Amino acid sequence: MDTVSIEIRMATLDDARLLTELGCRTFRDAFGADSSESDMASYLSGAFGVDVQSGELADPSSVFLIAYVEDTAVGYSRLRFRSAPDCVNGARPVEIARFYSDSPWIGRGVGAALMTACLDEAAARRCDVVWLDVWDRNVRAIAFYTRWGFEAVGEADFALGNDIQHDLLMARAVG
Ligand SMILES: CC(C)(COP(=O)(O)OP(=O)(O)OC[C@H]1O[C@@H](n2cnc3c(N)ncnc32)[C@H](O)[C@@H]1OP(=O)(O)O)[C@@H](O)C(=O)NCCC(=O)NCCS
């Protein structure tokens, strides 16, 4: 596969529309085949919209990192600097709350570039543990996180519309 140069930039308030479109598309691409249209539409309408992403971008406890190949946004992640569930060990936790490569770019190094940037940002803010929530049927993502040193530390429910799904909580030390 060709090698591409991936640049990670921190999002600004001007990126709300881009993050709405990229977030909505990548979520549907990842989970649309495994959910009903009504559950998916219900989730997307609450989670994505220019007003929703504008609010998230304005939140000082949240950071978005966007992966670019030239001027094309090819993936993004969202970090949230906030308290973690009890099963996560650490004094200064950070959550990877979103982590998506756009579907044509999956398997081309975008996830690695984003994860490196997430861990660098976590270290810069002196966090000691990074944690995330992943659907227990998302085999590809769990394998990716495991290769990056994450381990299952707990479980949680996640509501996709009316569908209550079972998630794994995974965590690893920073650094
Ligand atoms: C999980 C996810 C974010 C991983 O991102 P990705 O961009 O595919 O990650 P990468 O390309 O960096 O790594 C995946 C694998 O692709 C392959 N790969 C990476 N770069 C490559 C390259 N330049 N050439 C060929 N293969 C490559 C490797 O096999 C790599 O595995 P490794 O970690 O053992 O090296 C991605 O699969 C995704 O967006 N999935 C859908 C959304 C999702 O499930 N998100 C998680 C929600 S919790």
Q: Residue 133's pLDDT is what? A: 97
Query: What spacing in Å lies between the alpha carbon of 58 and ligand 1's midpoint?
Result: 29
Q: Residue 3's pLDDT is what? A: 75
- Long-range contacts made by residues 52-59, C-beta under 8 angstroms, separation at least 24? 52/20, 53/15, 53/16, 53/17, 53/19, 53/20, 53/23, 54/13, 54/16, 56/19, 57/11, 57/12, 57/13, 57/15, 57/16, 57/19, 58/13
4 confidence band (pLDDT: 50, 70, 90): confident
User: How far apart, in whole angstroms, are the C-alpha atoms of residue 55 and residue 149?
Assistant: 32
Average pLDDT, the chain: 96
Query: What spacing in Å lies between the alpha carbon of 111 and ligand 1's midpoint?
Result: 5
The pLDDT tens digits for 23-78 are 999 999 999 999 999 999 999 999 999 999 999 999 999 999 999 999 999 999 99
Kindly report the protein residue whose alpha carbon is nearest to atom 9 of ligand 1. 111
Q: Which residues' Cβ are closer than 6 Å to ligand 1? A: 1, 3, 30, 99-101, 106-112, 134, 138, 140-141, 144, 147
The pLDDT tens digits for 112-150 are 999 999 999 999 999 999 999 999 999 999 999 999 999
Structural domains of the chain sorted by starting position, each given as residue range(s) with its CATH number in brackets? 7-173 (3.40.630.30)
Kindly report the protein residue whose alpha carbon is nearest to atom 5 of ligand 1. 111
**Among 6, 68, 144, 165, residue to substitute to test ligand 1 (most atoms within 8 Å of Cβ):** 144
pTM value surpassing 0.85? yes
Q: Residue 170's pLDDT is what? A: 98
Q: Residue 175's pLDDT is what? A: 82
**Among 2, 68, 100, residue to substitute to test ligand 1 (most atoms within 8 Å of Cβ):** 100
Q: Residue 2's pLDDT is what? A: 67
Say if residue 1's pLDDT is above 90.
no
